[in-house]
Amino acid sequence: MPDTSAPRLLGPAEVRELAARLDLRPTKQRGQNFVIDPNTVRRIVRESGVVEGEVVLEVGPGLGSLTLALLEVGAEVTAVEVDPVLAGELPTTIQAFAPGQAERFRVVLADALAVTEIPGPPPHALVANLPYNVSVPVLLHLMALLPSLKHGLVMVQAEVADRLAAPPGSKTYGVPSAKAAWYADVRRAGAIGRNVFWPAPNVDSGLVAWTHRPPPTDQVGREAVFAVIDAAFAHRRKALRGALRELAGSADASEAALRAAGIDPLTRGEALGIDQFVAIAVALQETSEAAR
């Protein structure tokens, strides 16, 4: 008869024991800071809103701390891990700490930034402790790749969490905020201290929750809108008339498109929301077509 008992979670002793057995030396290059506090991973899962039976994509599972907490609530977990040693050990850890849930777990050895598909059933949620150095590119890549994702919660560097969830006009608003808004409604969901990690990072962490929403337009593609966002923030202190000059072909064409979109050409990119960036992209497309 299969063991259906609840998973045991990893604490400081278990994490260090696993690391010692694997001769693991966490590297800054891969952003390896492992959570050693069961209450923290339970909190992440609780804040994520994941429910029993949901298919969850986890990026960078490491030694399995968060994975076990996801299995504890009855989720089915697909974990993407770039480190072959960690990926190879995860099934053994899951079998040892959650034998009754092992059939609901699979690991994929891959770089999350480079994956083009995720095997198994389409994931509904993304829950992850993302490596600090690639957190925004990974999040945006997976949001674009997997339309099946409906919600998620990621733990990232506190400063990155502020930028992802920042509203237009705030000091931390920028490219990550604007691009994330194409895919989802994003909000800050709390802070995480340094002492729940081994090794302890030099920065605080933050939780970012998001809920999928349909693309804000079907008149132009995401790439065209993102090109406008990139140009608008390439020179933060420039008015949009000048910042979009190269993209539009000239300052006059930039101004014409901005006026057609109902935006003052002297406005800066940091003042605009995703719908206004969409309006500019549409206007640029229309003025380009009219000029042919």
For tokens 């925004």, name the residue: 136
- What does residue 217 show for φ and ψ, rounded to 5 degrees? -160, 155
Contact by Cβ (8 Å): 74, 52: yes
Residue 81 among known ligand-binding residues: yes
Among candidates 27, 133, 166, which has minimal Cα distance to 85? 27
Among candidates 151, 76, 153, 60, which has minimal Cα distance to 119? 76
CB atoms within 10 A of CB 226: 18
Distance CA 123, CA 250 (A): 44
Residues 6+ apart with CB under 8 A from 160: 132, 135, 136, 176, 206
Q: What is the DSSP letter of 194?
A: G
Q: Which residue type occupies 42?
A: R
Return the H-helix or E-strand segment holding 190: strand 184-192
Residue 35 among known ligand-binding residues: yes
Q: What is the number of residues in the chain? A: 292
Residue 230 among known ligand-binding residues: no
Residue 193 among known ligand-binding residues: no
Contact by Cβ (8 Å): 30, 138: no
Give the CA angle between residues 239, 241, 244 to the nearest 5°.
Answer: 100
Q: Which segments are annotated as binding site?
A: 33, 35, 60, 81, 111, 129
Give binding residues for S-adenosyl-L-methionine as ranges.
33, 35, 60, 81, 111, 129
